[in-house]
């Protein structure tokens, strides 16, 4: 493996990891703050990708499509929180699993009814459709670099939001003691709705920006969801920092695994998870 | 305390079910065989969810593993003996459950759900990505295992009625075994752990070992179901250990009413009948293809409005308090 090839895999791994972070951070926030397990989180990734594809077809431009799709997913997230998830905060995880499992089936069938069962490609925006040559015959697509850049920006924004703003303070307080926050006069219900919508918008956005690379296809959400579960388990529930570390770890492990040991690549992430479970059952950044 | 009537009710049900092949309706007999097999699977999960307080979302792993074990043990066109392949398949499941149990039982709550799912998914990839079980195409079981005592053929499982009786026998055996286990001091301890793990630990119970025993038993019983299912369909592919299967069996347990063994059986009956009805093209036409939409909505309604399942509903109508709610 020469250096240019190694560099390409490294960049691919980082890009994949950063994309996973967008999906997993929403999952871990909703877990950590509301104590909700959302199996349908991957469906929002799929919804994002399909929205990007169909709106890009209508407007002829992926950037416009994404700008139109983000408010739609935020509204979807808020509506679902109000209508369904709100009833489950005080219930056993079992019912959350069941409800969100049902939700996956509903989303998949609606996708089939609205958009059909075909695989569709999404064009890379013209502005970013270029590559940087590394050697004479190896080059790296600008679009992938752009994705990594956007993900890093969002990660920084998320960190700022949670750690440095007043809203972030309320979110963190809500995670540790819901009733206390409410008695202090903060509308915790509104905060929950916002966090839920934020998590969903992040997952959907990941689906949108990745659509040109992955194309859009049925059941695309489930594999992402399960990898994100592994990310959350390794990083520790509720820890955004942990989600970042674990996402990068998984992204690199899977990318290099696919290149070096393709036969067992699918299992590597689970072996990693098993090791972390033995060593630190609460995850790398989880509280004991 | 159970009344005398309800004590004999299961035997009555088994007796009536045993007479079903007299109707000679092969289609319904095969459908009912599927229900019996899924009932074994659902009861094994109910042991974890309803009695031990462990919500596993990866129970299909053991079901599928036993199916694959049978497929790998009977690669050719000669019938293998059920006498050793069934115990061997169950033993494989028991070992895998013991191994994964040691890891997953280090976690609780949401973690436990995710980790069980992740391990099931790992197994999915083992069979999906490697040549071991034919990759994503799966493997065939050309000839059903034989049941011979010496030269005497005890049952010919290629015949739907005899296969039905085998499934019914194993279902009844599973029910009686679990009933026995749950009535024993071991079962009482499991219930205690479900209600309050810390109290049981403080009382000196080795909680981890009890949970591990329960987890292993549940995995082994799921193995019996998976072995039968693989035999019924004559082939296995990675889908049988996918998370849709884990979700479906969880739905059966809740739909019937968890924490009641008969509820798991009722739940699998209701679920499979629903599936057949909703995907019936003669009734629903083009919508039959999208039967999962109705199923998904139904699952959500059960989660929201029927937490104690059909068994809870029945008890409500009879004016009895519902079995203990599964709150935190």
The domains located in chain A, with CATH, are: 3-116+139-279 (1.10.3470)
- How high is the pLDDT of residue B327? 40
The listed range with the strongest mean pLDDT (A252-256, B76-80, B285-289) is A252-256
Cβ-defined contact of A277 to B115 (cutoff 8 Å): yes
- Calculate the CA dihedral of residues B93, B117, B322, B190 and round it to 10 degrees: 50
Q: Average pLDDT for residues B76-91, to the nearest whole number? A: 90
For all residues of chain B together, what is the average pLDDT?
88
Q: What is the pTM of this model?
A: 0.89
Q: Cβ atoms within 10 A of the Cβ of B188, count?
A: 11
Q: Quick one: angle between helices A265-279 and B82-104, nearest 10?
A: 60
**Which residue from B minimizes the CA distance to A106?**
B293
Give the mutation candidate from A115, A226, A258 for the B interface (greatest B CB count, under 10 A): A226
| Chain B touched by A104 (CB under 8 Å) | yes
Confidence of residue B279 (pLDDT cuts 50, 70, 90): confident
> Between B110 and B88, where is the model more confident?
B88
Residue B137 has pLDDT above 90, yes or no: no
Give the mutation candidate from B104, B107, B125 for the A interface (greatest A CB count, under 10 A): B125
For residues A125 and A63, the answer to whether their CB atoms sit within 8 Å is yes
Compute mean pLDDT per 10 residues along chain A, 288 residues long, and list them: 84 94 92 87 94 91 91 94 88 89 93 92 84 79 92 94 91 85 88 92 95 90 88 89 94 92 83 86 80
Nearest by CB to A97, from B118, B125, B250: name it: B250
Residue B325 has pLDDT above 70, yes or no: no
- Residues 6+ positions from A57 with CB-CB distance below 8 Å: none
Distance from CA of B1 to the nearest CA of A (A): 27
- How high is the pLDDT of residue B320? 58
- Residues 6+ positions from A122 with CB-CB distance below 8 Å: A49, A52, A53, A56, A62, A211, A212, A215, A216
What residues of A are in contact with residue B46 (Cβ under 8 Å)? none
**Which residue from B minimizes the CA distance to A35?**
B110
**Which residue from B minimizes the CA distance to A95?**
B303
Q: Tell me the C-alpha distance between B17 and B267, whole Å.
A: 16
Q: Please, what is the end-to-end C-alpha distance for chain B in angstroms? A: 25
> Between B30 and B110, where is the model more confident?
B30
The 10 Å CB-count burial string (b at 16+, else e) for B119-135 is: bbbbbbbbbbbeeebbe
The distance from CA B174 to its chain's CA centroid, rounded to whole angstroms, is 10
C-alpha torsion sign, points B310, B316, B320, B323: positive
Distance from CA of A108 to the nearest CA of B (A): 8
The distance from CA A286 to its chain's CA centroid, rounded to whole angstroms, is 19
Residue B109 has pLDDT above 70, yes or no: yes
Identify which of B92, B142, B140, B97 has the alpha carbon closest to the alpha carbon of residue B237.
Answer: B140
Q: Cβ atoms within 10 A of the Cβ of A227, count?
A: 23
Cβ-defined contact of B110 to A93 (cutoff 8 Å): yes
- What does DSSP assign to residue A84? T
ipTM of the complex: 0.86
- How high is the pLDDT of residue B25? 85
- How high is the pLDDT of residue A68? 93
Residue B304 has pLDDT above 80, yes or no: yes
Q: pLDDT, tens digit, for every residue of B242-251?
A: 888 999 999 9
């Amino acid at each position: 493996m020469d250096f240019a090839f190694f560099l390409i895999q490294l960049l691919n791994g980082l890009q994949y990891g950063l994309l996973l972070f967008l999906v997993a951070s929403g999952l871990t926030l909703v877990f950590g703050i509301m104590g909700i397990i959302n199996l349908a989180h991957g469906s929002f990734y799929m919804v994002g990708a399909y929205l990007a594809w169909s709106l890009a077809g209508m407007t002829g431009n992926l950037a416009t499509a994404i700008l139109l799709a983000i408010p739609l997913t935020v509204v979807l997230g808020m509506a679902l929180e109000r209508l369904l998830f709100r009833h489950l905060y005080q219930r056993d995880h079992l019912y959350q699993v069941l409800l969100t499992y049902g939700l996956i089936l509903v989303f998949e069938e609606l996708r089939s009814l609205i958009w059909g069962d075909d695989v569709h490609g999404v064009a890379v925006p013209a502005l970013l459709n270029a590559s940087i040559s590394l050697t004479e015959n190896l080059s790296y697509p600008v679009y992938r670099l752009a994705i990594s850049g956007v993900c890093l920006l969002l990660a920084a924004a998320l960190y700022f939001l949670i750690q440095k703003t007043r809203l972030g303070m309320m979110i963190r307080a809500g995670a540790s003691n819901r009733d206390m926050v409410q008695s202090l006069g903060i509308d915790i219900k509104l905060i929950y709705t916002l966090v839920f919508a934020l998590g969903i918008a992040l997952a959907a956005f990941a689906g949108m920006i990745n659509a040109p690379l992955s194309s859009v296809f049925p059941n695309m959400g489930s594999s992402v969801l399960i990898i994100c579960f592994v990310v959350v388990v390794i990083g520790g529930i509720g820890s955004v920092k942990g989600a970042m570390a674990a996402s990068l770890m998984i992204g690199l492990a899977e990318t290099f695994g696919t290149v070096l040991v393709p036969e067992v690549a699918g299992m590597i992430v689970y072996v990693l998870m098993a090791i972390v479970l033995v060593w630190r059952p609460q995850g790398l950044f989880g509280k004991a | 305390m159970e009344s005398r009537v309800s004590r004999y009710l299961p035997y009555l049900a088994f007796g009536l079910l045993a007479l079903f092949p007299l109707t000679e309706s092969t289609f319904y007999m095969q459908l009912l065989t599927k229900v019996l097999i899924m009932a074994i699977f659902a009861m094994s999960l109910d042991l974890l969810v309803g009695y031990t307080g462990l919500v596993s979302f990866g129970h299909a792993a053991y079901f599928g593993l036993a199916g694959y074990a049978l497929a790998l043990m009977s690669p050719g066109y000669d019938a293998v003996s059920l006498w050793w392949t069934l115990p061997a398949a169950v033993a494989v499941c028991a070992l895998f459950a013991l191994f994964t149990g040691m890891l997953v039982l280090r976690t609780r709550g949401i973690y436990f759900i995710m980790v069980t799912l992740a391990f099931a998914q790992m197994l999915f990839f083992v069979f999906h990505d490697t040549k071991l079980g034919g990759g994503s195409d799966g493997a065939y079981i050309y000839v059903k295992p034989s049941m011979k005592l010496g030269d005497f053929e005890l049952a010919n499982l290629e015949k739907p009625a005899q296969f039905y009786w085998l499934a019914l026998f194993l279902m009844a055996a599973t029910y009686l075994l679990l009933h026995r286990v749950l009535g024993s001091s071991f079962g009482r301890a499991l219930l205690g752990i479900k209600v309050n793990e810390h109290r049981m630990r403080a009382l000196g119970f080795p909680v981890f070992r009890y949970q591990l025993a329960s987890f292993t038993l549940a995995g082994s019983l799921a193995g019996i179901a998976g072995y039968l299912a693989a035999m019924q369909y004559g082939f296995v592919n990675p889908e049988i250990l996918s998370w849709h299967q884990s979700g479906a069996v969880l739905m059966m347990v809740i739909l019937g009413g968890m924490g009641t063994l008969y509820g798991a059986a009722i739940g699998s009956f209701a679920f499979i009948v629903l599936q057949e009805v909703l995907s019936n093209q003669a009734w629903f036409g083009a919508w039959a293809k999208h039967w999962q939409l109705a199923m998904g909505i139904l699952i959500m309604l059960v989660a929201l409005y029927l937490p104690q399942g059909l068994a809870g509903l029945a008890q409500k109508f009879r004016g009895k308090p519902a079995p203990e709610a599964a709150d935190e």
